Structure 1
Amino acid sequence: MFADRLTSEQRQAVFDLAVLLAHADHDVSDEEQQYLKNFSDAFGIEYDLDKSEINIDDTLTAFSSKQSKMILLQELVKLSYKDGHFGQEEQENVFMIAQKVGLNDPELLIRIEKWVREGFNWVYEGEQMLEVN
C-alpha cells in the first residue's frame, strides 16, 4: 500500500477526504465502508464517517510533495472503484481535488485511474484462478 509512504497527518487527511468522497453519491456502500474500516485499522485512525465539518482546502494543505498528492489521488480513485464503478460524481470530486492540489494534468489522472483499475483486475483474476479446482 502506497499510503505507507505518507505521514500520519497525510493518512488522516486521506481518510477524511475518502469519507467525503464516499458520501458524494449519497450512498456509502458496504465495500466503501470496508475500505474505510481497513484504512482506519491499518493506520490507527478513528473510524468516523461524519466528516461534514471538514474544510477540503485546509485538509489538502497536508499534501506538499507531488508523490503525496499522487498517493492521495490513487487512494481516492481506489475507494471510488470499491462499489464497482468510478461514477460521475466521484470522478468530478476526484478531478476537483486534483485541481486543488495542482495535479490537473488529464494524462496523469488517466494513468492513475488505469493503474487502480488494473490493480483491481489483477486481484480479481487471482481470486478467480484460486477458486478453480
Structure 2
Amino acid sequence: MFLNRLSMAEKEAFLALAHHIAHADNDFSVDEEVLIAKYCMEMQMDDIEYDEANFNLFSILDTFEQDSHQKIVLLELMALVYADGVIAKEEQHTIDAIIEHFELNPNLAIIYREWSKNILSLFTQGEALIHI
C-alpha cells in the first residue's frame, strides 16, 4: 500500500525481509506467496532470490534510514505475518527485533497489527464481492 514510497534499494531490502519473515516458521503459505507477489506488483519490480544462508537481518534493516520508511516496513510486514491468519512465534521474534532495531514504540506494533488485520479483512471482502 505504501511501498511505492521506498527507494529501489529499500524495495529490494523489503522483499528480502518479506521472504525472511514468510519463511521464518518453515511454512511459506500460499497466502504469504500471494501477498509477496502483490508487493512486487505494487513496487513494479520482479521478485528477488531469497538467500537465507546470507541473510543478515540487521544489515538489511540499516537500509531504512528514514523514520517514515521504517514505519512503512513494519506496517507492510504486519500484513504479511497475518496473511495466513496466524502469527508464528518465529515471526513475532522477527517483528520484535525490527521494532527494537528501529527504536519504535512497541505500542505502535499493536496499532499496526490491528490496522493490518482490518485491511486484510477488507481485501478478502473485496475479492468476495468480485466473485458474487
TM-score under structure 2 length normalisation: 0.87
Aligned 8 A contact 1:36 1:47 in 2: no
Residue 116 of structure 1 is matched in structure 2 by 116
In the TM superposition, 1:1-133 aligns within 5 A as: 1-41=1-41, 42-103=43-104, 105-132=105-132
Displacement of 1:34: 2.1
| 1:98-130 deviations in Å (ceiling 9; x for gaps) | 111111x12111011111111012222333445
Gaps of 5+ in 2: none
| 1:4-33 deviations in Å (ceiling 9; x for gaps) | 111111111110011111111011112212
Q: Percent identity?
A: 28
Give 3-state SS (helix, strand or coil) of 1:52's partner.
helix
Change (3 A) 1:130 1:35: closer
Change (3 A) 1:52 1:76: farther
Instruction: Please tell me the root mean square deviation across aligned C-alpha atoms, in Å.
Output: 1.8
TM-score under structure 1 length normalisation: 0.86
Gaps of 5+ in 1: none
* Distance of 2:61 and 2:127 partners within structure 1: 35
> Match of 1:121, as an amino acid?
S
Task: State the number of aligned residues.
Answer: 131
